[in-house]
A = this chain, B = another copy of it.
Amino acid sequence: MALREPIIIPHLQDCGSCTIRHRAVCARCDSDELLRLEQMKYYRSFEAGQTVIWSGDRMDFVASVVSGIATLTQTMEDGRRQMVGLLLPSDFVGRPGRSTAAYDVTATTDLLMCCFRKKPFEDLILSTPHISQRLLEMTLDELDAAREWMLLLGRKTAREKIASLLAIIARRDVSLNPRKSGPIVFDLPLTREEMADYLGLTLETVSRQVSALKRDGVILLEGKRHVTVNDFDRLLEVAGDDSDGGYPV
Protein backbone atom coordinates (compact mmCIF):
# COMPACT_ATOMS: atom_id res chain seq x y z
CA MET A 1 0.00 0.00 0.00
CA ALA A 2 1.59 3.27 -1.08
CA LEU A 3 0.91 6.06 1.38
CA ARG A 4 1.47 9.75 1.05
CA GLU A 5 4.13 10.94 3.41
CA PRO A 6 2.64 11.91 6.78
CA ILE A 7 2.55 15.58 7.64
CA ILE A 8 4.26 16.30 10.92
CA ILE A 9 2.61 19.05 12.90
CA PRO A 10 5.20 20.17 15.39
CA HIS A 11 3.20 22.65 17.44
CA LEU A 12 0.05 22.80 19.41
CA GLN A 13 -2.92 22.86 17.13
CA ASP A 14 -6.56 22.11 17.56
CA CYS A 15 -7.71 19.00 15.81
CA GLY A 16 -11.45 18.98 16.20
CA SER A 17 -12.82 15.90 17.82
CA CYS A 18 -9.49 14.13 18.12
CA THR A 19 -9.88 11.78 21.05
CA ILE A 20 -6.37 11.61 22.28
CA ARG A 21 -5.98 15.26 22.89
CA HIS A 22 -9.44 16.14 24.01
CA ARG A 23 -10.41 13.21 26.11
CA ALA A 24 -7.30 11.44 27.24
CA VAL A 25 -5.01 14.34 27.73
CA CYS A 26 -6.51 17.78 27.95
CA ALA A 27 -8.86 17.06 30.77
CA ARG A 28 -6.40 15.40 33.04
CA CYS A 29 -2.77 15.85 32.11
CA ASP A 30 -0.36 18.66 32.63
CA SER A 31 0.79 20.77 29.74
CA ASP A 32 4.13 19.00 29.35
CA GLU A 33 2.36 15.79 28.41
CA LEU A 34 0.05 17.65 26.08
CA LEU A 35 3.03 19.20 24.38
CA ARG A 36 4.71 15.83 23.94
CA LEU A 37 1.58 14.41 22.35
CA GLU A 38 1.23 17.38 20.06
CA GLN A 39 4.78 16.97 18.88
CA MET A 40 4.12 13.35 17.99
CA LYS A 41 0.97 14.09 16.07
CA TYR A 42 0.46 14.12 12.30
CA TYR A 43 -2.55 14.00 10.00
CA ARG A 44 -3.52 11.70 7.17
CA SER A 45 -6.45 12.14 4.86
CA PHE A 46 -8.21 9.66 2.61
CA GLU A 47 -10.83 9.89 -0.08
CA ALA A 48 -14.09 8.00 0.11
CA GLY A 49 -13.51 4.40 -0.86
CA GLN A 50 -9.77 4.39 -0.16
CA THR A 51 -8.33 1.66 2.00
CA VAL A 52 -6.48 2.96 5.03
CA ILE A 53 -4.77 -0.34 5.77
CA TRP A 54 -5.22 -4.00 4.88
CA SER A 55 -5.52 -6.77 7.41
CA GLY A 56 -2.09 -8.28 7.97
CA ASP A 57 -0.18 -5.16 6.88
CA ARG A 58 2.41 -3.68 9.15
CA MET A 59 0.81 -0.94 11.22
CA ASP A 60 3.22 1.44 12.88
CA PHE A 61 0.76 4.05 14.05
CA VAL A 62 -2.33 4.51 16.14
CA ALA A 63 -4.93 7.10 15.22
CA SER A 64 -8.09 8.93 16.07
CA VAL A 65 -10.79 9.82 13.56
CA VAL A 66 -11.11 13.59 13.23
CA SER A 67 -13.81 13.71 10.56
CA GLY A 68 -15.51 11.25 8.24
CA ILE A 69 -16.34 7.59 8.66
CA ALA A 70 -14.25 4.45 8.37
CA THR A 71 -15.09 0.78 8.73
CA LEU A 72 -13.30 -2.27 10.07
CA THR A 73 -14.10 -5.40 8.09
CA GLN A 74 -13.08 -9.03 8.04
CA THR A 75 -13.15 -11.07 4.86
CA MET A 76 -13.20 -14.84 4.42
CA GLU A 77 -11.20 -16.50 1.63
CA ASP A 78 -14.31 -16.92 -0.50
CA GLY A 79 -15.16 -13.25 -0.22
CA ARG A 80 -17.84 -13.24 2.45
CA ARG A 81 -17.43 -9.98 4.35
CA GLN A 82 -18.48 -8.85 7.80
CA MET A 83 -18.05 -5.38 9.16
CA VAL A 84 -16.81 -5.58 12.75
CA GLY A 85 -16.38 -1.93 13.58
CA LEU A 86 -17.68 1.44 12.51
CA LEU A 87 -15.32 4.33 13.21
CA LEU A 88 -16.93 7.70 13.72
CA PRO A 89 -15.30 10.98 14.68
CA SER A 90 -13.39 10.65 17.99
CA ASP A 91 -13.05 6.86 17.67
CA PHE A 92 -9.65 5.30 18.15
CA VAL A 93 -7.94 2.79 15.87
CA GLY A 94 -4.92 0.65 16.47
CA ARG A 95 -3.64 -1.30 19.30
CA PRO A 96 -0.63 -0.69 21.44
CA GLY A 97 1.45 -3.86 21.51
CA ARG A 98 0.51 -5.20 18.11
CA SER A 99 2.48 -4.54 14.95
CA THR A 100 0.10 -5.72 12.21
CA ALA A 101 -3.46 -4.70 11.42
CA ALA A 102 -6.09 -7.31 12.30
CA TYR A 103 -8.80 -5.90 10.01
CA ASP A 104 -9.21 -4.03 6.77
CA VAL A 105 -9.78 -0.35 7.50
CA THR A 106 -11.61 1.54 4.77
CA ALA A 107 -12.72 5.14 4.40
CA THR A 108 -16.41 5.17 3.45
CA THR A 109 -16.49 8.96 3.25
CA ASP A 110 -13.65 11.42 2.93
CA LEU A 111 -11.67 10.83 6.08
CA LEU A 112 -9.22 12.75 8.23
CA MET A 113 -7.28 10.91 10.86
CA CYS A 114 -4.96 12.21 13.54
CA CYS A 115 -2.09 9.75 13.87
CA PHE A 116 0.71 9.01 16.29
CA ARG A 117 3.68 6.77 15.61
CA LYS A 118 3.17 3.64 17.61
CA LYS A 119 6.48 3.34 19.41
CA PRO A 120 6.57 6.81 21.02
CA PHE A 121 2.88 6.51 21.75
CA GLU A 122 3.49 3.27 23.62
CA ASP A 123 6.30 4.92 25.56
CA LEU A 124 3.97 7.73 26.47
CA ILE A 125 1.35 5.26 27.69
CA LEU A 126 3.89 3.65 29.99
CA SER A 127 4.79 6.96 31.54
CA THR A 128 1.32 8.51 31.55
CA PRO A 129 -1.26 6.36 33.28
CA HIS A 130 -4.18 8.65 32.45
CA ILE A 131 -3.89 7.73 28.82
CA SER A 132 -4.11 4.00 29.33
CA GLN A 133 -7.00 4.49 31.74
CA ARG A 134 -8.82 6.50 29.13
CA LEU A 135 -8.02 3.89 26.49
CA LEU A 136 -9.36 1.21 28.79
CA GLU A 137 -12.66 3.08 29.16
CA MET A 138 -12.94 3.52 25.40
CA THR A 139 -12.10 -0.12 24.74
CA LEU A 140 -14.71 -1.27 27.24
CA ASP A 141 -17.29 0.88 25.47
CA GLU A 142 -16.31 -0.71 22.17
CA LEU A 143 -16.63 -4.14 23.72
CA ASP A 144 -20.14 -3.31 24.90
CA ALA A 145 -21.02 -2.13 21.42
CA ALA A 146 -19.60 -5.31 19.90
CA ARG A 147 -21.73 -7.41 22.25
CA GLU A 148 -24.89 -5.52 21.41
CA TRP A 149 -23.97 -6.10 17.78
CA MET A 150 -23.56 -9.83 18.45
CA LEU A 151 -27.14 -10.00 19.70
CA LEU A 152 -28.21 -8.25 16.51
CA LEU A 153 -26.25 -10.60 14.26
CA GLY A 154 -27.23 -13.78 16.05
CA ARG A 155 -30.87 -13.27 16.90
CA LYS A 156 -32.55 -10.36 15.13
CA THR A 157 -34.63 -10.54 11.96
CA ALA A 158 -33.70 -8.54 8.88
CA ARG A 159 -36.35 -5.93 9.71
CA GLU A 160 -35.08 -5.60 13.27
CA LYS A 161 -31.49 -5.35 12.07
CA ILE A 162 -32.28 -2.47 9.73
CA ALA A 163 -34.26 -0.65 12.39
CA SER A 164 -31.42 -1.18 14.88
CA LEU A 165 -28.86 0.28 12.51
CA LEU A 166 -31.05 3.29 11.79
CA ALA A 167 -31.51 3.78 15.52
CA ILE A 168 -27.75 3.67 16.10
CA ILE A 169 -27.09 6.22 13.38
CA ALA A 170 -29.95 8.43 14.52
CA ARG A 171 -28.72 8.36 18.10
CA ARG A 172 -25.17 9.22 17.07
CA ASP A 173 -26.51 12.04 14.97
CA VAL A 174 -28.53 13.47 17.82
CA SER A 175 -25.57 13.35 20.17
CA LEU A 176 -23.36 15.17 17.65
CA ASN A 177 -25.99 17.74 16.63
CA PRO A 178 -28.30 18.10 19.60
CA ARG A 179 -31.76 19.49 18.93
CA LYS A 180 -34.55 20.26 21.33
CA SER A 181 -37.04 17.70 20.02
CA GLY A 182 -38.98 16.89 16.90
CA PRO A 183 -38.00 14.64 14.01
CA ILE A 184 -34.48 13.30 13.61
CA VAL A 185 -33.17 13.92 10.10
CA PHE A 186 -29.93 12.55 8.70
CA ASP A 187 -28.24 11.15 5.60
CA LEU A 188 -27.23 7.51 5.64
CA PRO A 189 -23.44 7.43 5.59
CA LEU A 190 -23.39 3.87 4.23
CA THR A 191 -24.31 2.29 0.90
CA ARG A 192 -26.80 -0.58 0.89
CA GLU A 193 -23.92 -2.97 0.50
CA GLU A 194 -22.08 -1.51 3.49
CA MET A 195 -25.26 -1.75 5.53
CA ALA A 196 -25.49 -5.41 4.47
CA ASP A 197 -21.89 -6.01 5.56
CA TYR A 198 -22.70 -4.41 8.88
CA LEU A 199 -25.83 -6.46 9.45
CA GLY A 200 -24.90 -9.87 8.06
CA LEU A 201 -27.45 -9.58 5.23
CA THR A 202 -27.36 -9.21 1.45
CA LEU A 203 -27.80 -5.82 -0.17
CA GLU A 204 -31.09 -6.94 -1.74
CA THR A 205 -32.55 -7.78 1.64
CA VAL A 206 -31.39 -4.43 2.99
CA SER A 207 -33.07 -2.64 0.12
CA ARG A 208 -36.32 -4.56 0.58
CA GLN A 209 -36.45 -3.98 4.32
CA VAL A 210 -35.65 -0.27 4.04
CA SER A 211 -38.51 -0.01 1.56
CA ALA A 212 -40.75 -1.92 3.94
CA LEU A 213 -39.96 0.42 6.85
CA LYS A 214 -40.76 3.34 4.58
CA ARG A 215 -43.99 1.73 3.40
CA ASP A 216 -45.00 1.08 7.01
CA GLY A 217 -44.31 4.67 7.99
CA VAL A 218 -41.58 3.86 10.49
CA ILE A 219 -39.25 6.17 8.57
CA LEU A 220 -39.59 8.74 5.81
CA LEU A 221 -37.16 8.44 2.94
CA GLU A 222 -36.31 11.05 0.32
CA GLY A 223 -34.07 9.75 -2.41
CA LYS A 224 -31.91 6.83 -1.37
CA ARG A 225 -30.12 8.26 1.61
CA HIS A 226 -32.10 11.03 3.28
CA VAL A 227 -33.96 9.69 6.31
CA THR A 228 -36.45 11.28 8.69
CA VAL A 229 -37.43 9.59 11.93
CA ASN A 230 -40.55 11.09 13.41
CA ASP A 231 -41.14 8.54 16.16
CA PHE A 232 -37.90 7.29 17.63
CA ASP A 233 -39.62 5.03 20.15
CA ARG A 234 -41.51 3.32 17.34
CA LEU A 235 -38.18 2.73 15.61
CA LEU A 236 -36.74 1.23 18.79
CA GLU A 237 -39.77 -0.99 19.12
CA VAL A 238 -39.34 -2.28 15.58
CA ALA A 239 -35.65 -2.82 16.38
CA GLY A 240 -36.65 -5.14 19.21
CA ASP A 241 -34.70 -3.09 21.74
CA ASP A 242 -35.86 -2.64 25.25
CA SER A 243 -36.65 1.04 25.15
CA ASP A 244 -33.93 2.13 27.58
CA GLY A 245 -31.02 4.30 26.61
CA GLY A 246 -29.04 1.27 25.44
CA TYR A 247 -26.45 1.02 22.69
CA PRO A 248 -23.19 2.50 23.82
CA VAL A 249 -21.81 2.80 20.27
Chain B: which residue is nearest A56 at the CB level? B244
Is B95 in contact with A155, judged by CB distance below 8 angstroms?
no
Flag whether A139 is at the interface (Cβ < 8 A): yes
Chain B: which residue is nearest A242 at the CB level? B77
Flag whether A199 is at the interface (Cβ < 8 A): yes
Q: Mark A82-117, 1 if CB is under 8 A from B, else 0.
A: 101100000000011100001100000000000000
Chain B: which residue is nearest A97 at the CB level? B137
Contact partners of A143 in chain B: CB under 8 A? 139, 142-143, 146
Is A151 in contact with B82, judged by CB distance below 8 angstroms?
yes
Is B150 in contact with A149, judged by CB distance below 8 angstroms?
yes
Interface residues of A in 163-213 (CB under 8 A from B): 199-200
Flag whether A135 is at the interface (Cβ < 8 A): yes
Flag whether A48 is at the interface (Cβ < 8 A): no
Contact partners of A81 in chain B: CB under 8 A? 155
Contact partners of A147 in chain B: CB under 8 A? 72, 74, 84-85, 102-103, 146
Flag whether A76 is at the interface (Cβ < 8 A): yes
Contact partners of A77 in chain B: CB under 8 A? 240, 242
A64, B80: Cα distance in complex, Å: 36
Chain B: which residue is nearest A76 at the CB level? B240
Flag whether A59 is at the interface (Cβ < 8 A): no
> A76-B240, A140-B139 are contacts. A84–B129 as well, Cβ < 8 Å?
no
Is A95 in contact with B154, judged by CB distance below 8 angstroms?
no
Contact surface of A with B, Cβ cutoff 8 Å = 72, 74, 76-78, 80-82, 84-85, 95-97, 102-103, 125-126, 129, 132-133, 135-137, 139-140, 142-144, 146-151, 153-155, 199-200, 240, 242
| Contacts A81-B155, A143-B143, A146-B147 known; 14 new A-B pairs at CB < 8 A | A74-B150, A76-B155, A82-B151, A82-B154, A82-B155, A102-B144, A102-B147, A125-B133, A126-B133, A132-B132, A143-B146, A146-B146, A150-B153, A153-B154
